[in-house]
Amino acid sequence: MSDCLFCKIVEGGVPAALVYQDEAVVAFKDINPQAPLHVLIIPRKHIATLNDLAPEDDALVGSMFRAAAAMAKEHGYHARGYRTVFNTNREAGQTVFHIHLHLLAGRGLTWPPG
Ligand code: 5GP
Ligand code: ZN
């Protein structure tokens, strides 16, 4: 997906503050952080929305959540608490159409979300 911002980050064509990467996922700091820790965990593979997941992506999504939990622990938030969010399509506020798991931590997070 040559016109996808997050594919460009995966490929190194757009700079990002990378915090983690492995063979399946890349994680980087959100450019407009909504909490002291706000990281986006994305698959290297282009998938536009959660609606586009296939059964063979199950392990990939598991890897995204495990990477989020590992980063929350690394930053000392695993016991205090943290939030992991996928926004899907317009009413949820999805603006980049390459799935990304938001990891938010470091402040009290209200519920329900806005
Ligand atoms: P969404 O609204 O689609 O769930 O989340 C997209 C996120 O990507 C937003 O939190 C936004 O701040 C972040 N974002 C958009 N463009 C860039 C960018 O070029 N670099 C980084 N690091 N984050 C971005
Ligand atoms: Zn993409």
Question: What is the pTM for the complete model shown?
Answer: 0.98
Which ligand approaches the C-alpha of residue 3 most closely? 2
Cα(86)–Cα(75) distance, integer angstroms: 21
Q: Which atom of ligand 1 is nearest to the CA of 93?
A: 2
Confidence of residue 6 (pLDDT cuts 50, 70, 90): very high
Residue type, 61: V
CB neighbour list of residue 1: distance below 8 Å, 6 or more residues apart:
7, 46, 98
| Spatial contact of 52 and 36, defined as CB atoms under 8 Å apart | no
pLDDT band at 59 (very low <50, low <70, confident <90, very high): very high
pLDDT, tens digit, for every residue of 15-49? 999 999 999 999 999 999 999 999 999 999 999 99
- Closest ligand 1 atom, CA of 95? 3
How does residue 97 score in pLDDT terms, banded at 50, 70 and 90? Answer: very high
How high does pLDDT run on average in the chain? 97
Residue 5: the pLDDT is 98
- Nearest residue to 96 (alpha-carbon basis) of 10, 18, 12: 10
State whether the beta carbon of 2 lies less than 6 angstroms from ligand 1. no
**Residue 1 pLDDT greater than 90, yes or no:** no
Residues serving a catalytic function are 100
